[in-house]
Amino acid sequence: MERFAALVDALVYTRSRNEKLRLIASYLRDTADPDRGWALAALTGALDFPAVKSSTIRAMMQQRVDPELWALSRDFVGDTAETASLLWPAPDGEREPAPTVSEAVALLSAMTRANVQAELPRLLDRLDPSGRYALLKLATGAMRIGVSSRLAKVAFAQAFAVAVEEVEEHWHGLTAPYPELFAWAAEGAAPPDTASRPTFRPFMLAHPLEDGTVDLADYAAEWKWDGIRVELVRVNGETRLYSRSGDDISATFPELTDVLPIDAVLDGELLVRGSHQGGEEGGAASFNALQQRLGRKTVSRKMLNEYPAFVRLYDVLMAEGADLRELPWSERRTRLEALMPRLPDSHFDISEIVSAPDFAALAAIRESARDAAIEGLMLKRRDSPYVAGRKAGLWYKWKRDPLLIDCVLMYAQRGSGKRSSFYSDYTFGCWNGDPDDGADLLPVGKAYSGFTDAELKQIDRHVRQHTVNRFGPVREVDRSLVFEVAFDSVHTSKRHKSGLAMRFPRIHRIRWDKPSHEADRIETLSALIRD
Amino acid sequence: MAPALLESSMARDFAWIRPEPHGIHIAPADIWIDPSRPVPRALVTHGHADHARGGHGETIATPETLAIMELRYQTREGARPAQYGETIRLSGGVDATFIPAGHVLGSAQILLEHAGERVVVTGDFKRQPDPTCTPFVTTPCDIFVTEATFGLPVFRHPPIFTELTRLIDRLHADSDRCVLVGAYALGKAQRVIAELRQIGHHDPIYIHGAMERMCRLYENFGIDLGELRLVSDSEKDAMRGAVVICPPSALNDRWSRRLPDPVTAMASGWMQVRQRARQRNVELPLVISDHADWDELTATIEQVDPQESWITHGREEALLRWHQLHQRRARALALVGYEDEDD
């Protein structure tokens, strides 16, 4: 565990990508199986210990530290695991020897909700502060140390001088601690057999279309739907659903795992059906509805009935044994259309092509789109092969212009991580009447993006100088600063006092110049509802 | 004077000493402690710029602090030295005694006595040993005016030995590079150098030009810093495998381009928190502080055992909470102008 803790700390303090690669590669080379496999799984977020969550750590610390001192410390440090690692009351006398990574993983796996509050402390007692930090990060599965799974794969490839494409191809479908992967790369054994398993293929992504135009003779347009991008893979009759990052989310959407009648790899948008949620008749509901289904490990029958999921297909990567990724988009589109009659329309439809005589006409269509499930348009080069990642000039996303409203800053909270010393999360409100007649502000949303680092410093200073109340990490400020807030849509919500919930709110401009009583009223915002 | 009689016949309200936004004011003597703007008469605890401003009519401080102020402000006008342990009679029946604070060379707590009441103003202090200054002396008092720069229980400064061992290990691991240590130019830099000498590192240490005069001042007061060389006088290759010390502001400055591929280190109590180190682009964080950590702060308050603590600056909320949990009285003063970001 000491070596792993030292690696984690070194990665935290290293900015250079090459240096990170060097650190991980040398760890992987110099560490024995299965420790290195578990470490790799930890770095790429592939470990899950159901009994150990951030809330477990909080509960454990509540028994040992005054809650207010805990809250102030957590607020300052900006990270629960790190705060706990520093505040942990180390036992007197000699420490028991630190566990190996494998032993720690075995002990963490064996923990249950019933015994975690007794077992986790015993493990922490065996470690120094840096070891405690690494252990808690590994246990909660949130390393957040600037190592993407892509970076880990490149480091793996570097460590053993193998091609990164091969690593990617073999990686998915294997489980930690990846003995087959190390045997292949480090010892020259035969590569793991993944062709016969439903593994993830990296997505093709789009660049934003900034100011330019494209020639519609070369590019096809289709709607960009406001759901989550998914890949549905069936191999040898076994189906898996993957999210954009390659996470297996089959368990969250079980209704999609037994409806694909052929072996194929399909790219599409996962949506929830229902016109009552602001969608077209029989079609897609707003993202608000889909949100009910996300992040669940198990799904109730009621959920399945109320928020039925389906996939609106964009592309086909493989079908019945043939890899179609080298074909031009237009050819793949023809194949996809030909496939549609064989797919059950209860769970699949196709994302329609949007035709327009010229780009100006297309712009008009984009502006007039009223459907809440439409985020904008995609522009795809008709001759583009399906290539992993974001390749210049092939696909563009062209989002609808955001809606704008002027709100007043009400509360600010300190951020996490690099922003832990800054008030960077803002709650803002609109007036519930005429502010000159004594109307009040009601919170309508929260945002923590859309400003530059220099603006963040200015807002942070404003918050500190205009604080009227403190609630732990939150400061209430006087109502003097106006934000122009950009957002994609607004919906009714029972969870908020204002009865409204914004989608993707972000700070568009800071209106230092605007008096707060001139900010917008609630009724202006509710007029934009399209539920 | 009959303190016992006073205590029983009148409420102890300590009206003679008041925290104002720009410093602590002692009305009977019309004198300020560490004022953040020019005043006719000032008592100064130590030489850091946020406590020792220039432009006062009269300044009472230790000889070391006065020398530091003279170096900074090029004037000795109105300087009145006070030795450790020496009691100075001010007007209005106020006595001031300078007591070692263990923070930097010449740093002092100031004990103020008036009408049988005792107030100790610590300025900044620490309890860890430091070869460059006189150790902190615990002084019983009614009101203990303390700092709280590291007033959160997450701050536990490790022994400086373990931190410097990590520095030396890194020096050996990357012997064709240098380790560039960002350290406050007054106090921290000289302490790091002196401690490195104590653990047997006798190679030349390279320093940034802005530190030269302060290092000489320390040497003039008898602190041995070994062989120091100026970076500006040195060849790049000579600095491979060497320790280089600069003010924190120079760490990511163009200045550091003249160094041989430096490993960026910083000696500061803030380095305890990973994201603070990341914010400063530090690769090798060294948790070395000239302030009391949480355990030192709370242990000191228990030893001094005052009727009430006043907290001048830092993370006062947590220290207030600690007082509440231990049934002790405390208040936060909200003084302006004390900065602690670089320690």
Mean pLDDT confidence for B133-147 = 97
Name the residue of chain B whose CA is nearest to A10's CA.
B283
- Nearest CB among B272, B279, B321 relative to A69 is that of B321
Contact list, B152 vs chain A (CB under 8 Å)? 69, 72-73, 76
For chain B, helix, strand, coil in percent to 5 are 30, 25, 45
Q: Which of B278, B282, B323 to mutate to test the interface with A (most CBs of A within 10 A)?
A: B278
Q: What is the pLDDT of residue A275?
A: 56
A72 contacts B315? CB cut-off 8 A? yes
B275 contacts A14? CB cut-off 8 A? no
CATH topology of domain A2-140: DNA ligase i, domain 1 (1.10.3260)
Least confident segment among A7-11, A359-363, B192-196, B250-254? B250-254
Structure token digits, residue A531:
């539920």
Q: Where in chain A do CATH 1.10.3260.10 domains reside? A: 2-140
For the question of an ipTM over 0.95, the answer is no
Separation of alpha carbons A122 and A308, rounded Å:
45
A68 contacts B276? CB cut-off 8 A? no
Let me know: does A21 contact A30? Beta carbons within 8 Å. no
Rounded to a whole number, what is the distance in Å from the CA of A24 to chain B's nearest CA?
Answer: 16
Contacts of B163 (CB under 8 A, 6+ apart): B267, B286, B287, B288
Residue type, A391: K
Contacts of B2 (CB under 8 A, 6+ apart): none
B283 contacts A13? CB cut-off 8 A? yes
A417 contacts B275? CB cut-off 8 A? yes
Q: What is the pLDDT of residue B128?
A: 96
Of A246, A253, A237, A384, which Cα lies nearest the Cα of A310?
A253
Phi-psi sector, A93: left (phi>0), alpha (psi -120 to 50), beta? left
Name the band, by pLDDT with cuts 50, 70 and 90, for residue B4: very low
For chain B, the residues whose C-beta falls within 8 A of a C-beta of chain A are 152-154, 156, 272-279, 281-285, 315, 317-318, 321-322, 325
CATH 3.10.20.30 is held by the domain A204-398? no
Q: What is the pLDDT of residue B7?
A: 37
Q: Which of B157, B274, B276, B319 to mutate to test the interface with A (most CBs of A within 10 A)?
A: B274
Provide the pairing of β-strand B263-267 with B284-286. parallel
Contact list, B273 vs chain A (CB under 8 Å)? 76-78, 82, 420
A14 part of contact set with chain B, CB < 8 Å: yes
Q: What is the pLDDT of residue B275?
A: 84
Let me know: does A81 contact A74? Beta carbons within 8 Å. no
Contact list, A13 vs chain B (CB under 8 Å)? 274, 277-278, 282-285
Contacts of A469 (CB under 8 A, 6+ apart): A475, A476
B279 contacts A418? CB cut-off 8 A? yes
A12 contacts B274? CB cut-off 8 A? yes
Structure token digits, residue A380:
């795809």
Q: What is the pLDDT of residue A468?
A: 86
Q: What is the pLDDT of residue B6?
A: 36
Structure token digits, residue A246:
């390659």
Residue type, B226: G
Superfamily of domain A403-526 in CATH is: Nucleic acid-binding proteins (2.40.50.140)
Of B3, B61, B59, which Cα lies nearest the Cα of B31?
B59
Residue type, A100: T
Query: Which domains occur in chain B, in start order?
Result: 3-154+291-332 (3.60.15.10), 160-286 (3.40.50)
Let me know: does A287 contact A503? Beta carbons within 8 Å. yes
Q: Which of A18, A73, A79, A83 to mutate to test the interface with B (most CBs of B within 10 A)?
A: A73
A420 contacts B275? CB cut-off 8 A? yes
Q: What is the pLDDT of residue A278?
A: 43
Contact list, B272 vs chain A (CB under 8 Å)? 86
A13 contacts B277? CB cut-off 8 A? yes
DSSP string, A508-519: EEEETTS-GGGS
Contact list, B262 vs chain A (CB under 8 Å)? none
Rounded to a whole number, what is the distance in Å from the CA of A18 to chain B's nearest CA?
Answer: 14
Per-chain mean pLDDT for chain B:
92
Sign of the C-alpha dihedral, residues A237, A242, A246, A251? negative
Separation of alpha carbons A502 and A329, rounded Å:
35
Low-confidence ranges of chain A (pLDDT < 50): 276-279
Separation of alpha carbons B57 and B54, rounded Å:
9
Name the residue of chain A whose CA is nearest to B265's CA.
A13
A250 φ/ψ angles, rounded to the nearest 5 degrees = -55, -40
pTM, full prediction: 0.71
Q: Is B161 helix (H, G, I), strand (E, B) or coil?
A: helix
Contact list, A72 vs chain B (CB under 8 Å)? 152, 315, 317-318, 321
Restricting to A residues 120-159, those with a Cβ less than 8 Å away from any Cβ of B are 133
Radius of gyration of chain A (CA): 26
Q: Where in chain A do CATH 3.30.470.30 domains reside? A: 204-398
What digits encode the pLDDT tens for the residues B41-70? Answer: 999 999 999 899 999 999 999 999 999 999
Model confidence at B11: pLDDT above 50? no
Q: Which of B273, B298, B319 to mutate to test the interface with A (most CBs of A within 10 A)?
A: B273
Q: Which of A2, A72, A136 to mutate to test the interface with B (most CBs of B within 10 A)?
A: A72
A15 contacts B322? CB cut-off 8 A? no
Rounded to a whole number, what is the distance in Å from the CA of B143 to chain A's nearest CA?
Answer: 24
DSSP string, A140-152: HT---SS--HHHH
